[in-house]
Amino acid sequence: MNKNIIEQLKSKLIIRYQVDNNSLNALGGYQNFVYEFKKDNVSYVMRITDVNHRSVKEIEAELLFLEMLVENHVPVVRGIKLPHCDLIERFKTDHNEYLVVVFDKANGLTWTEFKTNDSTYYMAGKQLGKIHRISKTMKNDKQRENWSENQYLKDAYKVIPNQDILEKMEDLIASLNELQQSNDVFGLVHGDYNFANIIYNEDQLTIIDFDEAEYHWFIYDIAVYLFYYLLGGDPANMDKEPNIELFKQFMKGYLEENIILVEWIDKLPLFFRLREFILLSSVYRSNPKKTFHPWQKAYIESTEYRILNDIPFIDIDYVELFNDIKNK
């Protein structure tokens, strides 16, 4: 999103939400603008979304999902309806329209401030297991997009230059479409469940940023969490050993809250590959001039080599690890 947009909206936002000291503190954001602000000396988080990115109905479905999770004691941040404001507010600039939602601010540290450990991985698995268990009870209202409608997959055809890569992606999508989609394996997922979307307060975790929530196989959320730890700081040289123990701790927590069969663990390579395509699309889309920094360049080169040569994302026998966990 264009940073000039916030300057056009700033005065309207400050007045509408009665922001203390006229202060909005940027927290970042990739597809949205995210700001922290105070009202009556209480901290909140404001998310500004382009209407071309999400519709009102999509955001309503996201907020309903969050309410369901809160009611079932999952540590997430819910949308807040401040006095004299709607839960979803509309703001216009000269050229576009934006949807704004205010959330509680989670207490704790971001991933850059906190050193994760075995307890962290266990709790991250436990909370994801809760999310999936609750998702299984929810009716599909069709307001959030299906996985195959993911914008990064759509954009891949515009931004990924190698046609052979795109053909491999189409083959993967065809394979995924053959998988069963019963309620016990498929439902509303977080969509971007990774270490950066968790706030850490010692062993207590708060899950944030459900903007990518979509209908998907539950195993996908598990794959995404593992994926970014595996990539680490050097996509060309993934470190397997610490990630083996991470998987064990994560799945111990997950299995305390939800059931997943080994046949789905066996499909992790498919969902790792799907995330590879999504991240590849994201990297290309964010750099139309192809001015890639070293990490992005390493990711593109190593990923495209794996895809073109049908090499799995990582050589770890997750089925054996999973069976070891189940048998203990």
Which CATH number do you get for residue 175? 3.90.1200.10
Q: Is the residue at 10 inside a domain? A: yes
* Residue 144 exposure: Cα atoms within 13 Å on the Cβ side: 24
pLDDT tens, residue by residue, 214-252: 999 999 999 999 999 999 988 989 999 999 999 999 999
Mean pLDDT of the residues in the chain: 94
206 in the same domain as 87: no
312 in the same domain as 195: yes
**Residue 19 near residue 37, CB atoms below 8 Å:** yes
Three-state secondary structure call for residue 75: coil
For the chain, report the end-to-end CA distance as a whole number of angstroms.
49
* DSSP state for residue 107 in the 8-state scheme: P
Per-residue model confidence (pLDDT) at position 1 = 53
Q: Is the residue at 112 inside a domain? A: no
The residue from 104, 131, 166 where one domain ends is: 104
**Residue 84 near residue 167, CB atoms below 8 Å:** no
Q: Is the residue at 109 inside a domain? A: no
Per-residue model confidence (pLDDT) at position 29 = 75
Per-residue model confidence (pLDDT) at position 3 = 62
Q: Is the residue at 113 inside a domain? A: no
126 in the same domain as 39: no
Could you tell me the pLDDT band of residue 203, with boundaries at 50, 70 and 90?
confident
266 in the same domain as 137: yes
pLDDT for 71 beyond 60: yes
97 in the same domain as 233: no
The residue from 104, 139, 157 where one domain ends is: 104
pLDDT for 5 beyond 80: no
Average pLDDT for residues 8-33, to the nearest whole number?
86
Q: Is the residue at 111 inside a domain? A: no
261 in the same domain as 181: yes
- Work out how many domains the chain is built from and give that number: 2
Q: Is the residue at 256 inside a domain? A: yes
80 in the same domain as 208: no
Per-residue model confidence (pLDDT) at position 307 = 99
Structural domain range at position 72:
4-104
148 in the same domain as 57: no
The residue from 104, 135, 154 where one domain ends is: 104
Q: Is the residue at 319 inside a domain? A: yes
The rounded percent of the chain whose pLDDT value lies above 70 is 98
148 in the same domain as 45: no
Phi first, then psi: what are they for 310, rounded to 5°? 55, 40
Could you tell me the pLDDT band of residue 95, with boundaries at 50, 70 and 90?
confident
Our measurement of the distance from residue 263's CA atom to the centroid of its chain's CA atoms, rounded to an integer in Å, reads 24
User: Where do the H-state alpha helices sit in the chain?
Assistant: 4-16, 56-71, 118-135, 151-159, 163-176, 218-231, 240-257, 262-265, 268-286, 294-308, 318-326
17 in the same domain as 50: yes
Our measurement of the distance from residue 112's CA atom to the centroid of its chain's CA atoms, rounded to an integer in Å, reads 17
pLDDT tens, residue by residue, 139-187: 767 689 999 999 999 999 999 999 999 999 999 999 999 999 999 999 9
Q: Is the residue at 193 inside a domain? A: yes
Per-residue model confidence (pLDDT) at position 233 = 85
Which CATH number do you get for residue 93? 3.30.200.20
Could you tell me the pLDDT band of residue 22, with boundaries at 50, 70 and 90?
confident
**Residue 294 near residue 302, CB atoms below 8 Å:** no
95 in the same domain as 132: no
Per-residue model confidence (pLDDT) at position 2 = 59
143 in the same domain as 72: no
pLDDT tens, residue by residue, 281-306: 999 999 888 889 999 999 999 999 99
